[in-house]
Protein backbone atom coordinates (compact mmCIF):
# COMPACT_ATOMS: atom_id res chain seq x y z
CA UNK A 1 0.00 0.00 0.00
CA UNK A 2 1.16 3.56 -0.69
CA UNK A 3 2.49 5.52 2.26
CA UNK A 4 -0.15 8.19 1.63
CA UNK A 5 -3.54 8.56 -0.01
CA UNK A 6 -5.61 11.54 -1.15
CA UNK A 7 -9.17 11.34 0.18
CA UNK A 8 -12.34 13.40 0.33
CA UNK A 9 -15.12 13.18 2.87
CA UNK A 10 -18.36 14.95 3.66
CA UNK A 11 -18.20 17.43 6.49
CA UNK A 12 -21.31 16.76 8.60
CA UNK A 13 -21.40 20.18 10.29
CA UNK A 14 -24.19 21.52 8.12
CA UNK A 15 -22.42 23.72 5.56
CA UNK A 16 -22.43 21.23 2.68
CA UNK A 17 -18.62 21.06 2.54
CA UNK A 18 -16.58 18.25 1.05
CA UNK A 19 -13.19 18.14 2.72
CA UNK A 20 -10.00 17.31 0.82
CA UNK A 21 -7.25 15.58 2.78
CA UNK A 22 -4.15 13.42 2.66
CA UNK A 23 -3.93 10.32 4.85
CA UNK A 24 -0.39 9.22 5.77
CA UNK A 25 0.27 5.62 6.82
CA UNK A 26 2.95 4.25 9.17
CA UNK A 27 5.63 1.79 8.04
CA UNK A 28 4.37 -1.75 7.47
CA UNK A 29 0.77 -0.58 7.66
CA UNK A 30 -1.79 -3.40 7.85
CA UNK A 31 -5.43 -2.51 7.28
CA UNK A 32 -6.48 -5.38 9.54
CA UNK A 33 -4.82 -3.70 12.54
CA UNK A 34 -5.98 -0.79 14.69
CA UNK A 35 -3.92 2.41 14.79
CA UNK A 36 -3.89 5.55 16.87
CA UNK A 37 -4.30 8.63 14.69
CA UNK A 38 -3.46 12.34 14.61
CA UNK A 39 -5.30 15.11 12.76
CA UNK A 40 -3.04 17.92 11.54
CA UNK A 41 -4.43 21.38 10.79
CA UNK A 42 -2.73 23.98 8.59
CA UNK A 43 -2.13 27.65 9.45
CA UNK A 44 -4.56 30.38 8.43
CA UNK A 45 -3.87 31.15 4.80
CA UNK A 46 -2.20 27.80 4.23
CA UNK A 47 -3.07 24.44 2.69
CA UNK A 48 -2.49 20.82 3.61
CA UNK A 49 0.50 20.35 1.27
CA UNK A 50 2.67 22.79 3.25
CA UNK A 51 3.74 22.49 6.89
CA UNK A 52 0.75 20.32 7.85
CA UNK A 53 1.94 17.54 5.53
CA UNK A 54 5.51 17.82 6.79
CA UNK A 55 4.38 17.11 10.35
CA UNK A 56 1.78 14.53 9.29
CA UNK A 57 4.37 12.56 7.34
CA UNK A 58 6.92 12.61 10.15
CA UNK A 59 4.37 11.56 12.77
CA UNK A 60 3.18 8.75 10.48
CA UNK A 61 6.77 7.54 10.25
CA UNK A 62 6.59 7.26 14.05
CA UNK A 63 3.73 4.75 13.89
CA UNK A 64 0.53 6.78 13.61
CA UNK A 65 -2.07 7.12 10.89
CA UNK A 66 -2.22 10.87 10.28
CA UNK A 67 -4.46 13.10 8.22
CA UNK A 68 -3.75 16.62 6.95
CA UNK A 69 -6.82 18.35 5.57
CA UNK A 70 -7.71 21.56 3.78
CA UNK A 71 -10.02 23.78 5.81
CA UNK A 72 -13.55 24.44 4.62
CA UNK A 73 -13.62 27.07 1.83
CA UNK A 74 -9.88 26.70 1.30
CA UNK A 75 -7.37 24.66 -0.68
CA UNK A 76 -9.05 21.75 -2.47
CA UNK A 77 -11.97 21.60 -0.05
CA UNK A 78 -15.28 23.01 -1.29
CA UNK A 79 -17.29 25.98 -0.08
CA UNK A 80 -18.26 29.49 -1.16
CA UNK A 81 -17.17 32.20 -0.76
CA UNK A 82 -13.65 31.01 -1.35
CA UNK A 83 -11.13 31.71 1.41
CA UNK A 84 -13.67 32.38 4.12
CA UNK A 85 -11.83 32.17 7.45
CA UNK A 86 -14.67 31.65 9.89
CA UNK A 87 -12.94 30.47 13.09
CA UNK A 88 -16.03 28.65 14.34
CA UNK A 89 -16.11 26.60 11.14
CA UNK A 90 -12.35 26.07 11.33
CA UNK A 91 -12.81 24.71 14.85
CA UNK A 92 -15.56 22.34 13.73
CA UNK A 93 -13.42 21.12 10.81
CA UNK A 94 -11.36 19.26 13.40
CA UNK A 95 -14.40 17.41 14.70
CA UNK A 96 -15.41 16.67 11.10
CA UNK A 97 -12.02 15.00 10.66
CA UNK A 98 -12.65 12.98 13.83
CA UNK A 99 -16.02 11.95 12.34
CA UNK A 100 -14.26 10.72 9.22
CA UNK A 101 -11.55 8.82 11.08
CA UNK A 102 -14.15 6.94 13.12
CA UNK A 103 -15.52 5.47 9.87
CA UNK A 104 -12.18 3.86 8.97
CA UNK A 105 -11.85 0.24 10.12
CA UNK A 106 -8.14 0.55 10.95
CA UNK A 107 -8.54 3.53 13.30
CA UNK A 108 -8.73 3.11 17.07
CA UNK A 109 -11.60 5.49 17.85
CA UNK A 110 -10.47 5.85 21.46
CA UNK A 111 -7.04 7.18 20.53
CA UNK A 112 -7.40 10.17 18.21
CA UNK A 113 -5.20 13.23 18.72
CA UNK A 114 -4.82 16.63 17.07
CA UNK A 115 -1.92 18.86 16.08
CA UNK A 116 -2.42 22.49 15.11
CA UNK A 117 0.12 24.86 13.59
CA UNK A 118 -0.21 28.65 14.02
CA UNK A 119 -3.93 29.56 13.91
CA UNK A 120 -4.92 25.91 13.79
CA UNK A 121 -3.10 25.57 17.11
CA UNK A 122 -5.89 27.67 18.58
CA UNK A 123 -8.53 25.87 16.56
CA UNK A 124 -7.46 22.42 17.81
CA UNK A 125 -7.48 23.66 21.40
CA UNK A 126 -11.01 24.98 20.95
CA UNK A 127 -12.09 21.74 19.30
CA UNK A 128 -10.70 19.72 22.21
CA UNK A 129 -12.59 21.89 24.69
CA UNK A 130 -15.79 20.90 22.88
CA UNK A 131 -15.04 17.37 21.63
CA UNK A 132 -13.77 14.79 24.10
CA UNK A 133 -13.21 12.22 21.36
CA UNK A 134 -9.95 14.14 20.98
CA UNK A 135 -7.58 12.52 23.47
CA UNK A 136 -4.36 14.55 23.14
CA UNK A 137 -3.62 18.07 21.87
CA UNK A 138 -0.37 19.31 20.35
CA UNK A 139 0.43 22.74 18.91
CA UNK A 140 3.38 24.20 17.02
CA UNK A 141 3.69 28.01 16.99
CA UNK A 142 0.09 28.00 18.20
CA UNK A 143 -1.87 31.25 18.44
CA UNK A 144 -5.30 32.45 19.48
CA UNK A 145 -6.23 34.12 16.20
CA UNK A 146 -9.01 36.18 17.75
CA UNK A 147 -6.61 37.75 20.20
CA UNK A 148 -4.22 38.39 17.34
CA UNK A 149 -6.85 40.49 15.57
CA UNK A 150 -7.61 42.34 18.80
CA UNK A 151 -4.07 42.84 20.02
CA UNK A 152 -1.64 42.31 17.14
CA UNK A 153 1.14 39.82 16.44
CA UNK A 154 2.82 40.14 19.83
CA UNK A 155 -0.38 40.68 21.81
CA UNK A 156 0.38 44.18 23.07
CA UNK A 157 -1.59 46.41 20.68
CA UNK A 158 -4.74 48.18 21.85
CA UNK A 159 -7.61 50.18 20.44
CA UNK A 160 -7.73 48.43 17.05
CA UNK A 161 -10.57 45.94 17.44
CA UNK A 162 -13.58 48.20 16.91
CA UNK A 163 -12.04 49.88 13.88
CA UNK A 164 -11.18 46.48 12.45
CA UNK A 165 -14.77 45.34 12.89
CA UNK A 166 -15.91 48.27 10.77
CA UNK A 167 -13.96 46.83 7.82
CA UNK A 168 -15.94 43.59 8.11
CA UNK A 169 -19.21 45.48 8.45
CA UNK A 170 -18.56 47.44 5.27
CA UNK A 171 -17.51 44.36 3.31
CA UNK A 172 -20.70 42.55 4.25
CA UNK A 173 -22.84 45.54 3.29
CA UNK A 174 -21.06 45.94 -0.04
CA UNK A 175 -21.49 42.25 -0.88
CA UNK A 176 -25.17 42.34 0.10
CA UNK A 177 -25.58 45.23 -2.35
CA UNK A 178 -24.09 43.13 -5.14
CA UNK A 179 -20.45 44.09 -4.84
CA UNK A 180 -17.57 41.69 -5.36
CA UNK A 181 -16.15 39.70 -2.48
CA UNK A 182 -13.42 41.72 -0.77
CA UNK A 183 -10.18 40.07 0.36
CA UNK A 184 -7.24 40.83 2.62
CA UNK A 185 -3.84 39.10 2.68
CA UNK A 186 -2.72 36.86 5.53
CA UNK A 187 0.92 36.90 4.46
CA UNK A 188 2.33 40.23 3.27
CA UNK A 189 2.11 40.56 -0.52
CA UNK A 190 5.44 42.41 -0.56
CA UNK A 191 8.24 41.88 1.93
CA UNK A 192 8.27 45.60 2.77
CA UNK A 193 4.60 45.36 3.80
CA UNK A 194 5.45 43.22 6.84
CA UNK A 195 4.19 45.10 9.94
CA UNK A 196 6.85 43.49 12.16
CA UNK A 197 10.22 41.99 11.13
CA UNK A 198 9.19 38.42 11.95
CA UNK A 199 6.39 38.59 9.39
CA UNK A 200 8.94 38.98 6.62
CA UNK A 201 9.25 35.22 7.05
CA UNK A 202 5.53 34.91 6.33
CA UNK A 203 6.19 36.57 2.98
CA UNK A 204 9.14 34.26 2.36
CA UNK A 205 7.13 31.18 3.26
CA UNK A 206 3.89 31.85 1.39
CA UNK A 207 5.01 34.13 -1.46
CA UNK A 208 8.21 32.44 -2.69
CA UNK A 209 9.28 29.01 -3.86
CA UNK A 210 9.92 28.06 -0.24
CA UNK A 211 6.28 26.91 0.17
CA UNK A 212 4.12 28.77 -2.37
CA UNK A 213 1.23 26.69 -3.79
CA UNK A 214 -1.08 27.53 -6.68
CA UNK A 215 -4.18 26.84 -4.56
CA UNK A 216 -2.90 28.97 -1.69
CA UNK A 217 -3.09 32.74 -2.28
CA UNK A 218 -2.84 33.27 1.51
CA UNK A 219 -5.79 35.62 1.65
CA UNK A 220 -9.17 35.73 3.38
CA UNK A 221 -12.52 37.38 2.91
CA UNK A 222 -12.80 40.72 4.67
CA UNK A 223 -16.21 39.64 5.95
CA UNK A 224 -14.36 37.03 8.05
CA UNK A 225 -13.14 39.85 10.30
CA UNK A 226 -16.48 39.98 12.12
CA UNK A 227 -15.97 36.43 13.37
CA UNK A 228 -12.21 36.63 13.84
CA UNK A 229 -12.10 39.73 16.03
CA UNK A 230 -14.61 38.38 18.57
CA UNK A 231 -13.40 34.75 18.59
CA UNK A 232 -11.54 33.34 21.59
CA UNK A 233 -9.90 29.99 20.84
CA UNK A 234 -9.12 29.53 24.53
CA UNK A 235 -12.59 30.35 25.87
CA UNK A 236 -13.41 28.05 28.82
CA UNK A 237 -10.07 26.23 28.50
CA UNK A 238 -9.58 26.71 32.25
CA UNK A 239 -12.73 24.66 32.81
CA UNK A 240 -12.87 22.16 29.95
CA UNK A 241 -9.42 21.53 28.44
CA UNK A 242 -8.93 18.27 30.32
CA UNK A 243 -6.85 16.49 27.67
CA UNK A 244 -3.04 16.37 27.76
CA UNK A 245 -1.56 19.43 26.04
CA UNK A 246 1.90 20.02 24.54
CA UNK A 247 2.59 23.46 23.08
CA UNK A 248 5.83 23.99 21.13
CA UNK A 249 7.13 27.46 20.30
CA UNK A 250 10.33 29.15 19.22
CA UNK A 251 12.33 31.12 21.74
CA UNK A 252 12.47 34.04 19.30
CA UNK A 253 8.81 33.92 18.26
CA UNK A 254 6.68 36.96 18.97
CA UNK A 255 3.82 34.52 19.50
CA UNK A 256 5.61 32.41 22.13
CA UNK A 257 3.48 33.85 24.93
CA UNK A 258 0.43 31.88 23.76
CA UNK A 259 2.25 28.59 24.37
CA UNK A 260 3.42 29.74 27.79
CA UNK A 261 0.27 31.42 29.08
CA UNK A 262 -2.29 28.79 28.10
CA UNK A 263 -0.27 26.01 29.70
CA UNK A 264 -0.17 28.02 32.94
CA UNK A 265 -3.90 28.64 32.71
CA UNK A 266 -4.89 24.98 32.38
CA UNK A 267 -2.54 23.51 34.97
CA UNK A 268 -4.68 21.43 37.27
CA UNK A 269 -7.41 21.05 34.63
CA UNK A 270 -5.45 19.38 31.85
CA UNK A 271 -4.25 15.87 32.55
CA UNK A 272 -0.76 17.07 31.60
CA UNK A 273 0.00 20.55 30.22
CA UNK A 274 3.51 21.48 29.12
CA UNK A 275 5.39 23.99 27.01
CA UNK A 276 8.49 23.13 25.02
CA UNK A 277 10.70 25.91 23.66
CA UNK A 278 12.88 25.42 20.58
CA UNK A 279 15.89 27.63 21.21
CA UNK A 280 16.84 30.03 18.44
CA UNK A 281 13.67 29.43 16.44
CA UNK A 282 11.15 32.03 15.38
CA UNK A 283 7.49 31.39 14.58
CA UNK A 284 8.00 30.38 10.93
CA UNK A 285 11.20 28.36 11.33
CA UNK A 286 9.02 25.67 12.90
CA UNK A 287 6.94 25.39 9.72
CA UNK A 288 9.54 23.71 7.53
CA UNK A 289 13.17 24.12 8.60
CA UNK A 290 14.56 20.65 9.17
CA UNK A 291 16.45 21.24 12.41
CA UNK A 292 13.57 23.00 14.14
CA UNK A 293 10.88 20.65 12.79
CA UNK A 294 12.85 17.58 13.81
CA UNK A 295 13.30 18.96 17.33
CA UNK A 296 9.57 19.60 17.57
CA UNK A 297 8.76 16.10 16.31
CA UNK A 298 11.20 14.63 18.84
CA UNK A 299 8.91 16.04 21.54
CA UNK A 300 5.58 15.37 19.83
CA UNK A 301 6.18 11.68 19.15
CA UNK A 302 6.73 10.59 22.78
CA UNK A 303 3.86 12.84 23.86
CA UNK A 304 1.40 11.15 21.48
CA UNK A 305 2.87 7.71 22.19
CA UNK A 306 2.19 8.27 25.89
CA UNK A 307 -1.38 9.50 25.56
CA UNK A 308 -2.64 7.71 22.44
CA UNK A 309 -2.14 4.13 23.55
Say if strands 107-117 and 134-140 run parallel, antiparallel, or are unpaired.
parallel
- In this structure, of 47-51, 155-159, 301-305, the range with the lowest mean pLDDT score is 155-159
User: Which pLDDT score, from 0 to 100, does residue 309 have?
Assistant: 86
pLDDT (tens digit per residue) in 49-108: 999 999 999 999 999 999 999 999 999 999 999 999 999 999 999 999 999 999 999 999
* pLDDT for residue 1 is more than 60: no
In whole angstroms, give the CA distance from residue 248 to residue 49: 21
Per-residue pLDDT at 123 exceeds 80? yes
- The model's pTM: 0.98
Burial label for 182, CB within 10 Å (0-12, 13-18, 19+), is middle
Is CATH 3.40.109.10 the right assignment for the domain spanning 4-158+230-307?
A: no
- The domain ranges of the chain are 4-158+230-307
Say if residue 2's pLDDT is above 90. Answer: no
What CA–CA distances, in Å, run from 214 to 173, 207, 218?
30, 10, 10
What CA–CA distances, in Å, run from 119 to 7, 43, 159? 23, 5, 22
Amino acid sequence: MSTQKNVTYKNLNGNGITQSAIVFFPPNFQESQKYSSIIVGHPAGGVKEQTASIYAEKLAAGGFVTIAYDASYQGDSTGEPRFLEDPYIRTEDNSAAVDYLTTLPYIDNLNIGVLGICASGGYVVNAAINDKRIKAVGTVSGVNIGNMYRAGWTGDASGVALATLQLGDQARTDEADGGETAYMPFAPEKVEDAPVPELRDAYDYYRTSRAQKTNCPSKFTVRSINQLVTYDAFNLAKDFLTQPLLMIAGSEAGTKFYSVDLVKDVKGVSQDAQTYIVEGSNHFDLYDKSKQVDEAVSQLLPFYEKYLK
